[in-house]
Amino acid sequence: MDGGISTTAGADGFLPSLLPLASAGGINPLVRDIGLCLVFAGILTVVFTRFRIPSLAALLLAGVLLGPNTPGAVIDRENVSTIADLGLVFLLFLIGLEMDLRKLLSSGRVLLVTGLLQFPLCVLFGWGAASLAAAAGWEGLAGPYAPLYVGITAAASSTLLVVRLLQERFQMDTSAGRVAVGLLILQDVWAIVVLAAQPNFASPQLGTVAGSFLGIGILVALAVLLSRHLLPVGLRWIARSPELLLVAAIGWCFGIGLLGASLGPVAEALGIHLHLSVSMEMGALIAGASLATHPVSHHVVSKVAVVHDFFITLFFVALGAGIPKPGGAMVLLLAAFMAAVSLAARYVVFLPLLYVNGMDRRSAVVASTRLAQISEFCLVIAYIGQGLGHVDEQFTSEVIFAFVATALATPLLFDAGDRIHAAAGGLLSLLGMKSPAEKGEAAAPPERHEIVFLGFHRVASSLLHEIERRHPALLGEVMVLDFNSEIHPAIEKRGAKTHYADFSSMDALRACGVEHAKVVICTIPDDLLRGTTNLKLVRMLRSLSKDVVIIANSLTLKGVGELYAAGADFVYTRRVEAAAGLAPALAAALEGGIAEYRAGQEALYGKVEERDEVLE
């Protein structure tokens, strides 16, 4: 039996085969390999997280350590790759679930125009750079496909890394954060096009390519039709059994995938000689996208995410195990070249597009810098390209090395956007990318303002709404200092004034006449501030004026005392304010009067869902 489990069904086959295995303490080879992958991945992920190194690098290193090029335990790549293929399907299914096309279409010119042009322009930029390098004698970039794959690698950023860092830093709702996430989704849409066209790179005949896109169109139509008319019925049947939602979601994912794969044979049976079959991976992406606007989509994400993490772990470990031993310094040099091309594309392509389409210079630099890494999707595309014979195993390993390098640099680059903008401001101005102040968009602030907001985010948005609702006469006395000029028109529409300024600078505060205000408020917490803290702001403000009333906020209880000692007149903490608001609600609920309490709150503040604020 060679330590395996017989696949013979029935009491005479399956059960007896288990007895020797159990008594001998044997382990099925597949189970052993998966176990080794999870153990190595678990240990390295914990260590890498401790030192703030991206976990994807840990998974790839686990694969390298378990691969054939290192001593010790070696896994069978075929065993793990079988499970890893399932991980790829789940990855694309979840990406599809996050693709709300209606939101994308309503995102405006900054996102739509940039997203539509950025990917092909980056492919062209990367292809040109790689072609020049190949002409200079770099053999690793020779061939008809290598420059094209370098361009594709330079065109997409890592959804997993960027979204995770935005969530950890609570910056999903910032201007740069929203644009970055939108671009990531549009890059995924472009990746769909690449995946559809990839099998036809070798013979890009119009009929073959048209057949592939026709198959995708048919599958999209069928998925939308089924998701609107058949799927809701099934979901209603299991509404009272949420544990079945995972089974239904996985069934939907693979059902649409198998339906796409069968389009070709069905067409042949009908006498239609077109290549209509859609890959299982593409089918999973379409299955997820067809569910994205369904009310249960967020429940599906939470259920599938657990299984997805398991398979994705094996997927990246398998990729790491497939990295060949570098064949000399040239492999690492080419990987560094790919990483450099990807980084350069962010400033040669991303930045100008964002700026020209209406984003202010600082936010454009920050968003471009945060997207300065290679996408895990590019690993998938290179992996598939290797299977199609477009690139060799060595090229795939170069893409993986480049991915690891940019992934390790991402946390550092993520916080470097403001510093890069400050350092490159003069050069950008010479190139025609001027700041709002240089363009004359920021008028000189009046000499005196009753109220000054340092920065504008969620709390400031709600506070401005309360001033508008309760004390509208004060709106003309409110000045907002913020460098996100995109929201300035919406603020000014409500009657407040705005000024483009970096309020972390003493000179900027003095130039804006902050010392003449009666009240200065900083509602932005330290985990969102860049280049300063509430404590530093309070100290600067107090040095400017002994009379101004300073209101600040603290993330920690200990920080409240430090802010008062620095000169703050009032310090609030979001956790305490929220708890103070919840306590009477809890008391009302215990006394059976929660409905009356809610009605009273809505009478005082209005219905929250109907508030018309600058920020949602």
Q: Is 571 helix (H, G, I), strand (E, B) or coil?
A: strand
Domain that holds residue 282: 78-424
The answer to which of 20-24, 124-128, 156-160, 200-204 has the lowest mean pLDDT is: 20-24
- Is 64 within the bounds of a domain? no
User: Residue 100's pLDDT band (boundaries 50, 70, 90)?
Assistant: low
Looking at residue 67, its pLDDT comes to 82
Angle at CA of residue 424, ends 435 and 539, nearest 5°: 75
Cβ-contact 212, 264 below 8 angstroms: no
* Cα gap 174→187, rounded to integer Å: 20
- One domain, residues 307 and 169: yes
Cβ-contact 162, 371 below 8 angstroms: yes
Looking at residue 106, its pLDDT comes to 56
Q: Looking at residue 292, which CATH number applies to its domain?
A: 1.20.1530.20
- One domain, residues 368 and 513: no
Looking at residue 569, its pLDDT comes to 95
What does the block give as tokens for 88?
A: 């790829």
* Cα gap 208→49, rounded to integer Å: 46
The yes-or-no verdict on residue 173 having pLDDT over 70 is: no
Cβ-contact 320, 64 below 8 angstroms: yes
- One domain, residues 419 and 460: no
The contacts of residue 555 (CB under 8 Å, 6+ apart) are 525, 526, 527, 573, 574
Q: Is the dihedral of CA 487, 488, 491, 493 positive or negative?
A: negative
Percent of the chain with pLDDT over 70: 84
Looking at residue 13, its pLDDT comes to 47
Which of 387, 407, 424 finishes a domain? Answer: 424
Q: Which of 10-19, 21-30, 580-589 has the highest mean pLDDT?
A: 580-589
Residues 323-381 pLDDT 10s: 767 767 788 888 999 999 999 999 999 999 999 988 888 888 988 998 998 987 888 88
The yes-or-no verdict on residue 81 having pLDDT over 50 is: yes
Mean pLDDT within 67-85: 74
- Give the residues across from 453 on adjacent strands: 480, 521
Q: Tell me 504's DSSP state.
A: T
Looking at residue 23, its pLDDT comes to 40
Cβ-contact 331, 77 below 8 angstroms: no
- One domain, residues 148 and 272: yes
Looking at residue 21, its pLDDT comes to 45
Looking at residue 339, its pLDDT comes to 94
Looking at residue 107, its pLDDT comes to 57
User: Residue 152's pLDDT band (boundaries 50, 70, 90)?
Assistant: very high
Cβ-contact 516, 449 below 8 angstroms: yes
User: Residue 172's pLDDT band (boundaries 50, 70, 90)?
Assistant: low
Percent of the chain with pLDDT over 90: 23
- Is 529 within the bounds of a domain? yes
Cβ-contact 385, 400 below 8 angstroms: no
* Cα gap 473→482, rounded to integer Å: 22
Count Cβ atoms below 10 Å from residue 511 Cβ, excluding itself.
Answer: 13
The yes-or-no verdict on residue 199 having pLDDT over 80 is: no
Looking at residue 26, its pLDDT comes to 65
Greater pLDDT, 306 or 270:
270
Residues 440-497 pLDDT 10s: 554 454 456 789 999 898 899 999 999 998 888 888 889 998 877 778 888 988 989 8
- One domain, residues 293 and 247: yes
- One domain, residues 196 and 297: yes
Q: Is 613 helix (H, G, I), strand (E, B) or coil?
A: coil
The contacts of residue 256 (CB under 8 Å, 6+ apart) are 219, 222, 223, 226, 283, 284, 286, 287, 290
Residue (of 204, 202, 300, 212) closest to 251 by Cα position: 300
- Is 432 within the bounds of a domain? no
Question: What phi and psi, each to the nearest 5 degrees, are found at residue 470?
Answer: -100, -40
- Is 443 within the bounds of a domain? no
Q: Looking at residue 458, which CATH number applies to its domain?
A: 3.40.50.720
The yes-or-no verdict on residue 406 having pLDDT over 80 is: yes
Looking at residue 15, its pLDDT comes to 39
Mean pLDDT (the chain) is 81
- One domain, residues 171 and 131: yes
Q: Tell me the H-state helices in 136-205.
A: 146-155, 159-168, 175-197
Looking at residue 464, its pLDDT comes to 92
Looking at residue 4, its pLDDT comes to 38
- One domain, residues 167 and 277: yes
- One domain, residues 346 and 477: no
Mean pLDDT within 380-390: 84
Looking at residue 242, its pLDDT comes to 66
* Cα gap 116→187, rounded to integer Å: 9
Residue (of 539, 530, 543, 478) closest to 504 by Cα position: 530
Split into its structural domains, the chain has a count of: 2
- Is 258 within the bounds of a domain? yes
Mean pLDDT within 57-81: 79
* Cα gap 103→106, rounded to integer Å: 5
Looking at residue 130, its pLDDT comes to 92
Buried b (16+ CB within 10 A) or exposed e, 453-490: bbbbbbbbbbbbbebbeeeeeebebbbbbbbbbbbbeb
What does the block give as tokens for 361?
A: 């210079």
Q: Tell me the H-state helices in 415-499.
A: 417-430, 458-470, 488-493
The yes-or-no verdict on residue 163 having pLDDT over 60 is: yes
Which of 406, 424, 442 finishes a domain? Answer: 424
- One domain, residues 251 and 390: yes
- CA 417 to chain CA mean position, Å: 17
Looking at residue 448, its pLDDT comes to 67
Greater pLDDT, 274 or 539:
539
pTM, two decimals, is 0.66
Cα pseudo-dihedral 370, 371, 376, 378, rounded to 10:
-160
- Is 30 within the bounds of a domain? no
Residue with tokens 């600040």: 552
Cβ-contact 461, 509 below 8 angstroms: no
Residues 218-247 pLDDT 10s: 888 899 898 888 888 887 787 667 668 778
List strands edge to edge, sheet with 451-454.
Answer: 497-499, 478-481, 451-454, 519-521, 549-553, 570-572
What does the block give as tokens for 109?
A: 């010119």
The yes-or-no verdict on residue 431 having pLDDT over 70 is: yes
User: Residue 71's pLDDT band (boundaries 50, 70, 90)?
Assistant: confident
User: Residue 11's pLDDT band (boundaries 50, 70, 90)?
Assistant: very low
- Is 292 within the bounds of a domain? yes
- One domain, residues 386 and 473: no
Q: Which amino acid is at 324?
A: P
- Is 19 within the bounds of a domain? no
The contacts of residue 276 (CB under 8 Å, 6+ apart) are 211, 212, 214, 215, 218, 263, 264, 266, 267
Cβ-contact 294, 231 below 8 angstroms: yes
Buried b (16+ CB within 10 A) or exposed e, 138-160: bebbeeebbbbbbbbbbbbbbbb
Maximum CA pair distance of the chain?
93
Cβ-contact 403, 382 below 8 angstroms: no
Q: Tell me 275's DSSP state.
A: -
- One domain, residues 175 and 234: yes
